[in-house]
Amino acid sequence: MFDPEALRRSGRMRQNHQLALVDNNSSGAVPTIRDEISAIFEQVLGRPVVITDDTDIVEDLGMDSLGVMNFVMAIEDFYDLSIPLDRVAQIRTVADLIRSVEDLRNGH
């Protein structure tokens, strides 16, 4: 289950209670949406994950319906947006999720 208190203690949560990423990249490169989503998956699942555009969120990552909802809430918190339930139902792969986040951030 998504534990915001654990995130706060780990230093991975922003002051406004949104998820924050720890940048382990010394090159200063800006993380991609895929990088951010991967870090959120790892927090929600409690284990390291390797994702690609074709990664099926439920099948490949072994998420149940509660896990998916916890993940959706974490994504919404991190990006400060709301993903409508009909759109959640259309998201199967990481690529679908990236497109949805991009669209919602751009007001679509």
Residue 70 reports pLDDT greater than 60 = yes
pLDDT band at 65 (very low <50, low <70, confident <90, very high): confident
Mean pLDDT for the chain? 81
Q: How far is CA 50 from the centre of its chain?
A: 13
Structurally, the chain folds into a number of domains equal to 1
Would you tell me how many other CB atoms lie within 10 Å of the CB of residue 75? Answer: 23
**What CATH number did the domain enclosing 20 receive?**
1.10.1200.10
Its sign, for the CA torsion 16, 70, 11, 79, is: negative
pLDDT for res 20: 46
Domain range spanning residue 53?
A: 4-105
Distance CA 27, CA 92 (A): 32
pLDDT for res 9: 54
pTM of the entire predicted model: 0.71
- Between 16 and 78, where is the model more confident? 78
Q: What angle do CA 29, 31, 36 make, to 5 degrees?
A: 165
Averaged pLDDT for residues 26-49: 88
**16 Cβ contact partners less than 8 Å away, ≥ 6 residues apart:** none
